[in-house]
Chains A and B, each alone.
Chain A
Amino acid sequence: MEVIFVLIAISLILAGTFLFLFFRAMKGGQFDDNHTPAIRILFENKPNNKNKEVPSTKSK
């Protein structure tokens, strides 16, 4: 059963890493805005097609 100490150690290290990353992300302002990211992913950029030949398709 000694292996459980190893597993607990690894799990704690992993959980600690996640905790550290969470605080870092908090501090870094990752979670300051809980609204726009959800909307931003829905926008699809349509860059001006000046440098590539686009096959003609019916764009929806």
Chain B
Amino acid sequence: MSGTTLEQFKYDNTIVKYFGVATIAWGIVGMLVGVIAATQLFLPEANMGNPYTTFGRIRPLHTNAVIFAFVGNAIFAGIYYSMPRLLKTPMWSKALSWFHFWGWQLIILLAAVTLPLGITSSKEYAELEWPIDILIAVVWVAFGANMIGSLIKRREKHMYVAIWFYLASFVTVAVLHIFNSLALPVSFFKSYSAYAGVQDALVQWWYGHNAVAFFLTTPFLGLMYYYLPKAANRPVYSYKLSIIHFWSLIFLYIWAGPHHLLYTSLPEWAQILGVVFSVMLIAPSWGGMVNGLLTLRGAWDKVRVDPVLKFMVVAVTAYGMATFEGPMLSLKNVNAIAHYTDWIVAHVHIGGLGWNGFFTFAMLYWLWPKMWKTNLYSNKLATTHFWMGTLGIIFYALPMYVAALTQSLMWKEFTEAGRLAYPNFLQTVIQIVPMYMLRAFGGLLYLSGVFLMVYNMIKTAKQGTFMAEEADEAPALKPHVAHDGEFWHRAWERKPVFFTVLATIAILIGGAVEIIPTILVKSNVPTIASVEPYTPLELQGRDLYISHGCVGCHSQMIRPFRSETERYGEYSKAGEFVYDRPFLWGSKRTGPDLHRVGGKYPDSWHYNHMVDPTSMSPGSLMPPYPWMADNIMDHSIVPAKINTLRKLGVPYPDGYEEEANADLMVQADGIVKNLKESGIAVMPESEIVALIAYLQRLGTDIKKTTASNP
């Protein structure tokens, strides 16, 4: 505008560089752990024979590293570069930026230490224990405050669509994280979920699905709306569409969680709710994909030569594929086939490797030359990386689809005589081992490509000069001329808003902590009279099961299909889980379901199976757990556990914590005696005894009822 003075300011590139480097470093770590986990599925020796590197603990390490460390840092790098430029102001506070950076890296480091040690809440993508959860909330709020502060100081009145995506991501992830992480601590390293059984499952997947929605999708759509037009040097195809699909996407996504629990004990109406919203979601999702791809109309000649655009095209296409697959998998009849199989694993990796991974690579390939004021060192190398990555995705996904359908059909197949065609679960696993090998190869290929990128980026930085700060200028934002709704505008333009947001978050936390347990106390009335709380020894065994990540391969949820009741026993009922904190229904069956394993085998079978799975199931892919026979368990924490659970509403009698350990020893001695009869000598305090107690209890409560209880 004429007559206004231009204000000078500087963008900070250093923080972007740090987040970018962290992205790659953690990306390599996360993918490497992924390749190890993939290898362990066909080569149990790759578990390396110690508790810290077995599949059960490596898998959550891989998911957390890739989601929160790799993708997380990429989001922050992308936002800290694009947001100031879109708002024509530096980030609000450098101190907050750096607090955010180091805080986030500390969280990742803590995750990398605690998860292999078996310190876990076992809730998928929210495995970290409560002290780290609190740290995450603090750092996340710092990040949000930094964004909102910048927003208030902006010199560009209009907020570009990417900003809307960033803000929605911040707000929603904060709320989700807080509510799903509500738990009562037992000690510094152990807590029990505020919810039990079906409730816990529902909250977990309300969170889990929205983690996909608001951590892996909306932030990246925001990045897409900035970096794709920049890289193509074309405005986005339809700005109107980007706005419409933003609002519709965030409205619909929140409700889709229950589609992770189809055919489980979750009430039917809640499942239907999830399905309906999931199916509707295809519209806004594809709105994003179409908008991204059509931005390139008239620029496809550039795609032929520019690796950045190549990566982006595949990323957006993968996003489209994954968001078509999602609604499809949410249809109950399709889900009946896919649930618990590798189809789900393939689906998330189309999203993870294709959408998040490839877009991150594209963004970094675009950012590095920009910040070092030079050209990319080698387009050829980047193109090679592109093809390695693309082949990696194909080698990953296709075998997984084949494996999933093979296994699912084998699970469900009956003979002419009406018996299971493959009664031995192991047959269905061994059948797909070649596919697991191909998948690991695909992952390795993908990871190898990343090393090319690292080399390329180092060389790019070497040939350029890093611009720590970039100067820009813009006129100050005109103070708003008041009209209707004047108060809100004025408030929005000033600091109070920021404090309001913080206050709201504080209120939400306080409110949640008080309201939820109050509401949930009622739910602790067992709906099945014979279902009782776990004994102290079983509780210890269950926590051991949680700590070793057994839920990563074994579900505890028998769906009401004949193929499942035939194989495992009576289907699972909601009332059976009222004392399960956290719930352990699982998402994937690499091994058989365990919900009715109690009483199926003698104690000695479990002992031998844990020490060497192949002794009981030749060809088993389960890692051996020989240390469980020798490790002595510390049972001194039991009274504290009983106390905590009683506070949460589990009906242990008053003062039971005094007797708990005596009861525990009685039950342990019984198991030791059983093992002795089979010629096995163990200490009653050993881990294996507690685990056997838990496994033998699983799913037996409803068997105690006679026919009087239909």
Question: Is A30 in contact with B159, judged by CB distance below 8 angstroms?
Answer: yes
Shortest A23–chain B CB gap in Å is: 10
Nearest to B241 among chain A residues (CB) is: A34
Provide a sorted-by-A list of 18 A–B residue pairs whose CB atoms are within 8 angstroms.
A1-B202, A2-B519, A2-B523, A3-B519, A6-B515, A14-B172, A14-B254, A15-B251, A18-B247, A18-B251, A28-B492, A30-B158, A34-B239, A39-B235, A40-B160, A42-B233, A47-B472, A57-B464
In angstroms, Cα B160 to Cα A35, docked, is 11
CB distance from A41 to the nearest CB of B (A): 6
User: Of residues 5 to 49 in A, which have CB atoms within 8 Å of B's CB atoms?
Assistant: 5-7, 10-11, 14-15, 17-19, 22, 24-25, 27-28, 30-31, 33-35, 37-42, 45, 47, 49
Top 9 nearest A-B pairs (CB, nearest first) are A38-B235, A55-B465, A3-B199, A38-B239, A57-B373, A34-B240, A11-B254, A34-B239, A47-B473
Question: Would you give the shortest CB distance from B269 to chain A, in whole angstroms?
Answer: 9
- Whether A41 contacts B489 by the Cβ 8 Å rule is no
Which residues on B sit within 8 Å (CB–CB) of A2?
Answer: 199, 519-520, 522-523
Cβ of B374 within 8 Å of any chain A Cβ, yes or no, is yes
Q: How far is the CB of A14 from chain B (nearest CB, A)?
A: 6
C-alpha gap A22/B226 in the complex (Å): 21
**Which of B234, B254, B374 has most chain A Cβ within 10 Å?**
B254
B375 touches A52 (CB 8 A): no
**B: number of interface residues (CB 8 Å):** 58
Which chain B residues lie closer than 8 Å to A31 at the CB level? 243
Question: CB-nearest residue of chain B relative to A55?
Answer: B465
Determine if B160 and A37 form an interchain contact, defined as CB atoms under 8 angstroms apart.
Answer: yes
Within 8 A of A (CB), among B228-242: 229-230, 233-236, 239-240
* CA gap between A47 and B469 in the complex, in Å: 13
Contact B171 A47 (CB under 8 A): no
Given contacts A10-B179, A34-B243, A57-B374, contact A47 B471 (CB under 8 A): yes
Question: Could you say which of A18, A41, A60 contacts B160, with CB atoms under 8 Å apart?
Answer: A41
Check: B206 CB closer than 8 A to any chain A CB.
yes
Tell which of B161, B516, B523 touches A1, judged by Cβ atoms closer than 8 Å. B523
Bound together, the chains give a CA A37 to CA B489 distance in angstroms of 21
Instruction: Kindly provide the distance from the CB of A21 to the nearest chain B CB, expressed in whole angstroms.
Output: 8
CA distance A2 to B230 in the complex (A): 48
Give every chain A residue within 8 A of B195 (Cβ-Cβ).
3
Asked whether A7 lies within 8 Å of B203 as measured between CB atoms, the reply is yes
CB of B488 within 8 Å of the partner chain: yes
By a CB distance below 8 angstroms, the chain B residues around A40 are 160
- Chain B residues 177-211 with CB under 8 Å of chain A are 179, 195, 198-199, 202-203, 206
Q: Which of A10, A31, A38, A47 has the most chain B CB atoms closer than 10 A to its own CB?
A: A38
- B607 to chain A minimum Cβ distance, whole angstroms, is 38
User: How far, in angstroms, from A1 to B202 measured CA to CA in the complex?
Assistant: 8
Q: Is B25 an interface residue (CB 8 A)?
A: no
A57 to B371, CA, bound (A): 12
**Interface pair A41/B226, CB less than 8 Å apart:** yes
The answer to whether B239 touches A35, judged by C-beta atoms less than 8 angstroms apart, is yes
Q: 10 new A-B pairs (CB below 8 Å) besides A2-B523, A15-B251, A57-B373?
A: A1-B199, A6-B515, A7-B206, A11-B255, A15-B254, A17-B171, A28-B485, A41-B85, A41-B160, A52-B469
Chain B residues in 8 Å Cβ range of A42: 229-230, 233-235
Give bound CA distance, A39 to B229, whole Å: 9
Contact (Cβ within 8 A) B203 A18: no
Q: How far is the CA of A2 from the CA of B198 in the complex (A)?
A: 10
Are the CB atoms of B485 and A14 closer together than 8 Å?
A: no
Any A CB within 8 A of the CB of B301: no
Contact present for B235 and A1 (CB under 8 Å): no
Determine the distance from Cα of A44 to Cα of B678 in the docked complex, in whole angstroms: 78
B519 x A10 contact (CB < 8 A): no
B430 to chain A, nearest CB (A): 39
Q: Which of the residues B158, B243, B520 comes within 8 Å of A3, measured between beta carbons?
A: B520
For B519, the chain A residues whose CB sits under 8 A away are 2-3, 5-6
Are the C-beta atoms of B270 and A41 separated by less than 8 Å?
no
B-chain residues with CB within 8 Å of residue A52 when the two chains form the complex: 469, 471
Kindly report which residue of chain A lies nearest to residue B375, judged by CB atoms: A60
